[in-house]
């Protein structure tokens, strides 16, 4: 056995076939790559799935097998807007060495922080728009709030958590190549503790094998640790709805990095898709509504001692709304409400800016403007464009404000506004 090279590198998949248990993802990725640049095709793809499932390995194997030069940047390299513009954009607009095709790989994009790395996501979107090469991104959690604007510009390809069987198969191959004495029970225990993370399983195997020269069940139990795993939202919901015990339902909620508001969105969306019996649906919503009451008191009064009760209702309360336990596998997808919020984000930003603009001139609060002024302005701008133009002039409204208020009548309002300006210019000239 040689410790010169970490086994996760030494036994990294070399070919597409070496990437295990990801046939759907492989087919979708290869199809996208073959059709890249054609009308209607997305210019970038987002591979997402739990840690250690083979996202980066798949990209590297495809690049090697299909003759692409791989330009790879991880999260620490491209967090800032300036990094992306100065490094990645240049690479995205040039061909590879000796004219080879190029794949731009941005690893762990969910590691970009919206505040600390301001402008990073916007720069990636711009990079996608101008790139002359395929762009591939990876993420453990594609449902991060930071990635909402990005997801609209990419093809999403999910990758599955590896099963214990597939992890054991991979570990056996390594044991054979390294000529290590390994028991099947030990390998199954390593796979169980890795929870589908092949990378961590290989690290555990190497650590034990190089220290003791063999891998036994006793050694694995005494040395290998269970991973504190962060689950994707759809995995967490699968665990929650199929929990047999109260502690499992609670653990499911805390095993994902969704915030409280997002947890409510996911549960609210999938209660009626998971439960088929109307009575079960009613029970689940009753528990979720009680959780929402506790959450409201936590936010309004700061009563954080109610948090445990909130989790009891939205975890075990929802999970045990069923009459009889029966394992069910149901597909979970991102809540449509999140998509709607993302699509209307710009509209809400314009509304906020308009309210702030008018509040300073009317000497009142933004809340009052939104409740008592803007609704009337929308009626005026849509049904009386001529008078709306006078209001726009008097309150120095921008073209974006006019478009938002007038909708399909915005061109008429802007037309009257321009006519008024020309009339005033003629008056001054005369």
Say if residue 54 carries a ligand binding annotation. Answer: yes
Say if residue 6 carries a ligand binding annotation. Answer: no
Those residues with Cβ within 8 angstroms of residue 185's Cβ, 6 or more apart along the chain or in another chain: 217
Say if residue 393 carries a ligand binding annotation. Answer: no
Those residues with Cβ within 8 angstroms of residue 290's Cβ, 6 or more apart along the chain or in another chain: 313, 317
CA angle 338-342-346, nearest 5°?
Answer: 150
Judge contact between 128 and 106, C-beta under 8 A.
Answer: no
Give Cα 106 to chain centroid, integer Å.
14
What is the β-pairing status of strands 44-48 and 135-139?
Answer: parallel
Distance, CA of 44 to CA of 125 (rounded, Å): 9
Say if residue 55 carries a ligand binding annotation. Answer: yes
Tokens at residue 381, please?
A: 């701008």
Those residues with Cβ within 8 angstroms of residue 154's Cβ, 6 or more apart along the chain or in another chain: 42, 44, 45, 46, 128, 137
Say if residue 56 carries a ligand binding annotation. Answer: yes
Tokens at residue 331, please?
A: 């597909």
Q: Which of 178, 165, 184, 166 is nearest to 209 (CA)?
A: 178
3-state secondary structure (DSSP) of residue 206: helix
Distance, CA of 192 to CA of 258 (rounded, Å): 25
The residue assigned the tokens 């499992």 is: 248
Taking the CA atoms of 228, 230, 234 and 236 in sequence, report the sign of the dihedral they define. positive
Q: What is the DSSP string of 217-257?
A: HHHHHHH-----PPPPHHHHHHHHHT-SSHHHHHHHHHTS-
The binding site consists of 49-56
The binding site for ATP consists of 49-56
């Amino acid at each position: 056995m040689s410790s010169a090279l970490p086994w996760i590198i030494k036994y990294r998949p070399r070919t597409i076939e070496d990437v295990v248990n990801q046939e759907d993802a492989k087919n979708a990725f290869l199809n996208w790559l073959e059709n890249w640049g054609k009308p209607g095709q997305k210019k970038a793809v987002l591979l997402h799935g739990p840690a250690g499932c083979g996202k980066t390995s798949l990209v590297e194997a495809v690049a090697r097998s299909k003759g692409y030069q791989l330009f790879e940047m991880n999260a620490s390299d491209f967090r800032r807007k300036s990094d992306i513009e100065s490094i990645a954009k240049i690479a995205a607009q040039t061909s590879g060495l000796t004219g080879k095709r190029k794949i731009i790989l941005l690893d762990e994009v969910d590691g970009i922080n919206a505040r600390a790395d301001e402008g990073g996501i916007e720069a990636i979107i711009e990079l996608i728009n101008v790139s002359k090469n395929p762009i591939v991104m990876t993420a453990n959690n594609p449902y991060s709030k930071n990635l909402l604007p990005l997801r609209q510009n990419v093809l999403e390809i999910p990758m599955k958590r590896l099963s214990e069987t597939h992890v054991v198969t991979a570990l056996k191959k390594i044991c054979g190549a390294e000529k290590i004495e390994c028991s099947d029970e030990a390998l199954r225990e390593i796979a169980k503790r890795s929870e589908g993370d092949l990378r961590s399983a290989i690290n555990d195997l190497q650590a034990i094998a190089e220290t003791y020269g063999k891998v036994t069940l006793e050694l694995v139990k005494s040395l290998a640790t269970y991973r504190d795993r962060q689950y994707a939202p759809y995995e967490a919901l699968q665990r929650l709805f199929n929990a047999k015990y109260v502690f499992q339902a609670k653990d499911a909620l805390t095993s994902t990095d969704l915030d409280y508001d997002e947890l409510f969105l996911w549960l609210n969306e999938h209660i009626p898709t998971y439960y088929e019996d109307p009575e079960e649906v009613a029970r689940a919503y009753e528990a979720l509504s009680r959780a929402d009451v506790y959450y409201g008191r936590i936010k309004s009064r700061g009563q954080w001692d109610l948090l445990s009760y909130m989790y009891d209702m939205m975890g075990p309360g929802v999970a045990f709304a069923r009459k009889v336990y029966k394992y069910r596998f149901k597909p979970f997808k991102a809540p449509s409400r999140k998509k709607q919020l993302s699509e209307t984000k710009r509209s809400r930003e314009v509304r906020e800016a308009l309210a702030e603009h008018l509040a300073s001139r009317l000497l009142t609060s933004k809340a009052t403007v939104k409740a008592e002024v803007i609704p009337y302005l929308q009626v005026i701008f849509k049904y009386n464009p001529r008078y709306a133009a006078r209001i726009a002039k008097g309150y120095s409204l921008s073209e974006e404000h006019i478009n938002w208020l007038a909708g399909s009548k915005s061109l008429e309002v802007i037309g009257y506004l321009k006519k008024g300006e020309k009339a005033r210019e003629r008056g001054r000239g005369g």
